[in-house]
């Protein structure tokens, strides 16, 4: 039996590992346009740690887990063809499959940007710390640093940058630009309030309801979403974290993970929305559980037994605010944790995934 997994992120890798554990004789294929699995939840840490620390090559993982990797980007517009032919064309090569799992994740929107403006895709290829060092060493650039995006990713890199700037002892102005009216509006209000207090105490400028338009040399153009007025500010270094959406397509999966309309195609992770009782936010812990569930159900389909329904509920969510601070909730959304205890929880969660990638599955629920 041959199973093809498209996408080597959290859901895809979890699916491959669970498939190998349950189906020792299956031929497993990963298709992904990149060469490495990146622990994307650590991306903000590249302000102070090298990017290579969070990369694992698909070649290395394939040898250990037991899968082959093809560098290829899946065309979701051809799902009907894939299902009808039980095959994918890869650079003229016909790759047949018994099951296809789509776990291609999510990506940020493509925004117009000039030099000294970097988005999440840029930081997948170069260390944020190197970019900051170049900025600090170039006094011809405005002494202002901006982060665009008030979601968890933007907030996390902002506070890493704030810690780095403080250590440099240079008089750099930091700002956070947020399209929304309130920080972390999709989470319990106490989380946003905690972050807001931290912004004030750190002297970081906060621009809510402000939308990024474009950049030009050392300036950024914004629009006030409530009034439509334009705003221009200086910025010698800018990071764009405007949020992500399913890529290259959004899929609807049933409660077992099967993509609607297809018996042999499953979806998991950020690109798939499950019609089930389980949580379905775009988070790593959900992506891992969906990837594992899909693998379990492919195994159960192959044996003709009843499928498992997806019902996982998030155990908590923590946003880091620099090397030794964080805020989040644990088990219940009104059970807020902050400071060092929250930071410790996040470290444990990240260590759990590190162990998982290393081959030790500690995801018991």
Strands 106-107 and 245-246: antiparallel
| 224 Cα distance to chain centroid | 27
Which ranges of 74-188 would DSSP assign to H, the alpha helix? 79-85, 120-123, 128-137, 152-168
Largest CA distance in the chain: 67
Band the pLDDT of 361: cuts 50, 70, 90: confident
pLDDT digits (tens, 9 = 90+) for 15-47: 999 999 999 999 999 999 999 999 999 999 999
Q: What is the CA radius of gyration of the chain?
A: 21
Superfamily of domain 117-240: FAD/NAD(P)-binding domain (3.50.50.60)
* Cis peptide upstream of residue 295 (ω within 30 degrees of 0): no
331 φ, ψ (degrees, to nearest 5): 70, -50
- The whole-angstrom separation of Cα 244 and Cα 247 is 9
3-state DSSP assignment of residue 68: strand
When pLDDT is cut at 50, 70 and 90, the band that residue 222 belongs to is very high
Q: Look at residue 64 and tell me whether its pLDDT is greater than 70.
A: yes
The residue ranges of every structural domain in the chain are: 2-107+245-314, 117-240, 315-365
Q: Does domain 2-107+245-314 have CATH number 3.30.365.10?
A: no
Residue 206's Cα: distance from chain center in Å?
24
Q: CA–CA distance from 57 to each of 12, 29, 63, 91, 164 (Å)?
A: 14, 15, 10, 22, 29
User: Which pLDDT score, from 0 to 100, does residue 346 have?
Assistant: 86
Q: How confident is the model at residue 332 (pLDDT cuts 50, 70, 90)?
A: confident
- Among 117, 107, 116, 133, residue whose Cα is nearest residue 50: 133
Residue 343 banded pLDDT, cuts 50, 70, 90: confident
Burial of 352 (0-12, 13-18, 19+ CB in 10 A): middle
Quick one: pLDDT band at residue 357, thresholds 50, 70, 90? confident
Indicate if the pLDDT at residue 272 is higher than 70: yes
Same fold, 2-107+245-314 and 117-240: yes
Q: Please give the pLDDT value at position 348.
A: 84
Q: What is the pTM of this model?
A: 0.93
Report H helices in the chain: 10-22, 58-61, 79-85, 120-123, 128-137, 152-168, 189-202, 284-303, 339-358
Mean pLDDT of 54-61: 95
Query: Which pLDDT belongs to residue 356?
Result: 74
For helices 152-168 and 128-137, give the axis angle rounded to 10 degrees.
Answer: 40
Nearest to 168 by CA among 123, 213, 135, 126: 135
Question: What is the rounded distance in angstroms from the CA atom of residue 195 to the CA atom of residue 153?
Answer: 13
Position 362 scores a pLDDT of 67
Task: Tell whether the model's pLDDT for residue 58 goes beyond 70.
Answer: yes
Return the pLDDT at 69. 97
- Is the pLDDT at 147 greater than 80, yes or no? yes
Of 211, 153, 121, 133, the C-alpha closest to 145 is 133
**Chain CA centroid to CA 132, Å:** 22
Percent of the residues in the chain that have a pLDDT greater than 90, as a whole number: 85
Question: How far is the C-alpha of 174 from the C-alpha of 164, rounded, in Å?
Answer: 11
Q: What are phi and psi of 267, to 5 degrees?
A: -130, 150
Average pLDDT (245-266) is 95
pLDDT in the model for residue 263: 95
- How many whole angstroms separate alpha carbon 212 and alpha carbon 280? 28
**83-136 pLDDT per residue, tens:** 999 999 998 889 999 999 999 999 988 888 999 999 999 999 999 999 999 999
Going by pLDDT thresholds of 50, 70 and 90, the confidence category of residue 364 is: low
Averaged confidence pLDDT in the chain: 94
Burial classification of residue 88, based on how many CB atoms lie within 10 Å of its CB (0-12 exposed, 13-18 middle, 19 or more buried): buried
Residue 4 pLDDT grade (very low, low, confident, very high; cuts 50, 70, 90): very high
């Amino acid at each position: 039996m041959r199973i093809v997994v498209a996408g080597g992120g959290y859901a895809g890798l979890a699916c491959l590992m669970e498939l190998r554990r349950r189906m020792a004789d299956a031929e497993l294929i990963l298709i992904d346009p990149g060469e490495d699995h990146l622990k994307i939840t650590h991306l903000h840490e590249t302000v102070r740690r090298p990017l290579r620390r969070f990369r694992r090559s698909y070649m290395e993982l394939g040898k250990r887990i037991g899968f082959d990797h093809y560098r290829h980007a899946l065309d979701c517009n051809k799902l009907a063809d894939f299902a009808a032919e039980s095959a994918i064309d890869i650079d003229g090569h016909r790759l047949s499959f018994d099951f296809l799992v789509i776990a291609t994740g999510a990506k940020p929107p493509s925004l117009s940007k000039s030099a000294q403006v970097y988005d999440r895709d840029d930081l997948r290829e170069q260390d944020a710390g190197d970019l900051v060092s170049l900025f600090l060493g170039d006094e011809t650039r405005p002494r202002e640093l901006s982060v665009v995006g008030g979601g968890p990713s933007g907030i996390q890199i902002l506070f890493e940058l704030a810690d780095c700037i403080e250590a440099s002892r240079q008089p750099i102005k930091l700002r956070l630009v947020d399209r929304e009216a309130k920080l972390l509006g999709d989470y319990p209000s106490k989380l946003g309030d905690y972050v807001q207090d931290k912004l004030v105490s750190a002297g970081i400028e906060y621009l809510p309801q402000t939308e990024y338009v474009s950049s030009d040399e050392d300036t950024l153009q914004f629009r006030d979403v409530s009034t439509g007025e334009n705003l221009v500010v200086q910025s010698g270094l800018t990071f764009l974290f405007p949020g992500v959406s399913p890529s290259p397509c959004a899929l609807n999966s049933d409660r077992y993970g099967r993509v609607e309309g297809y018996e042999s195609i499953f979806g998991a992770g950020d690109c798939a929305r499950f019609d089930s009782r389980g949580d379905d936010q775009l988070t790593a812990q959900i992506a891992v559980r969906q990837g594992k569930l899909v693998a379990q159900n492919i195994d159960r389909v192959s044996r003709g037994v009843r499928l498992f329904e997806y019902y996982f509920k998030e155990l908590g969510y923590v946003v880091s605010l620099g090397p030794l601070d964080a805020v989040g909730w644990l088990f219940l959304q009104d059970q807020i944790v902050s400071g060092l205890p929250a930071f410790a929880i996040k470290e444990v969660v990240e260590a759990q995934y590190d162990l998982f990638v290393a081959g030790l599955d500690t995801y018991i629920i």
